[in-house]
Chains A and B, each alone.
Chain A
Amino acid sequence: MPAKPQDLLSGYVEVSSLPMMYSRINDAIANPRMSMGDIGRVISEDSGLSARLLRIVNSAFYGFPSKVDTITRAVTIVGTQQLRALALATSVMNMFKGIPNDLVTMESFWKHSVACGLAARSLATYRRESNSELFFTAGILHDIGRLILYLKVPDLAKKALMRSHAEGELLFEVERDIIGFDHGAVGRALVQGWKLPASLEEVVAFHNSPGGATRYPIETAIVHVADIIAHVMMLGTTGEQFVPPLVSKSWDLLGLQEGVLAPTIDQVEHQFEETVELMFPSAHA
């Protein structure tokens, strides 16, 4: 049994750092002398990433009336912070693409993640949060720790999956029991290693027990609810088969009416197929 989540990541080269490109985009955005055109040029150097971003910007995800055909234009219309969040989401999904995993299909895993990301983005819009793309990315990443569990301790992870099925228990609780910590803790260690914003770290760590979030309770509550919505919609799973319990305090914190749930589900439904196709092209192949 691993002693702490970090043990699963040490020496794991494939996932130890984010693609170079992401830190280059980061540097470009942080540099006040870089214009939007310069940032566009940096992104354009990675033709695969540029193509993926342009497909997203031209999809139902945004629903712009006319075609956006260059990255420079995409930067202007969508914004630098927003484009960076999307670049992060697609880079991470791309990173895990070639890694085989027998416990849950990658298709199912990312479908749940995309559904959660879309729901989080939609809820964020209802709350008039400024960078809703960041919530999309947080939703994409929320269960990333589970992927590490499946890859690094497949026997323990399988045991947890089987017990949760046989006993009807919540998977994250069984994980804590069998592995010593849950996928949230592993995801947190991973995100920490990638030096991503602290808000993402808290969301990933506490989306199942949002009371633990001290600095970013709103962000965490949004992904907590989005995760539940994704489970209700039954679009793929990362291993959990039950609708996770809603933490009442976190729901109250958001100040949303129950009336937003139906339109949120409609909106996710509307964007889901196309977004899955865009973010993870092989899912439908």
Chain B
Amino acid sequence: MGLMHIDDIQPGMKLAADVKDQTGRILLTAGHEVTERHVKIFRMWGVIEADIEGVDRDEISVVASAPVDSTMVGDVQNQARSRFRHADLEHPAVKELYRLYTERMAPPDTEGGDRAG
């Protein structure tokens, strides 16, 4: 199981955990197959991701980080290093934030990655 972004969720995928809205109300319980209508309802209630069966979080992040890193412009990298100079880049959470920062900063044409893999 692994968390998947709502943009990547396809009809037919199976929920590994209940999907709840911001207030904790259950919208759809674990084990259900997601339909297009479900995804629409999730969006309406501000749900941004869901736990999907058979997805490994590590796989997603490897695929997502590869294209940006390889084509990252030197400027962005220098800027990122400077902003993160007090941060411990060995920490997994900081590493993820560093990746998200460079992803946000990178010019749009380098974002060619296929997130869902």
Contacts and interface: CB of A to CB of B under 8 A. Distances in A.
Top 4 A-B pairs, shortest CB-CB distance: A258-B96, A263-B48, A259-B3, A263-B49
B32 interface: no
Contact of A258 (B46, B82, B83, B92): B92
Contacts of A231: 83
Contact of A243 (B2, B44, B97): B97
16 contacts: A125-B24, A128-B24, A132-B22, A229-B97, A232-B101, A233-B104, A242-B83, A242-B84, A242-B85, A243-B84, A248-B91, A257-B3, A259-B3, A265-B104, A266-B48, A267-B48
A260 B57 CA distance: 11
B3 A263 contact: yes
B51 to A, nearest CB: 10
B38 interface: no
B57 A259 contact: yes
Interface residues of B, number: 29
B94 interface: yes
Contact of B86 (A63, A132, A245, A258): A245
A251 B93 contact: yes
Interface in B29-58: 44-46, 48-49, 57
A265 B105 CA distance: 14
Interface residues of A, number: 35
A168 interface: yes
A227 B28 CA distance: 32
A170 interface: yes
B87 interface: yes
B114 interface: no
A228 interface: yes
Nearest to B104: A233
Given A257-B57, A263-B5, A243 B87 contact: yes
Given A63-B46, A242-B83, A246-B87, A228 B97 contact: yes
Contacts of A125: 22, 24
A54 B66 CA distance: 44
A241 B79 CA distance: 11
A261 B22 contact: no
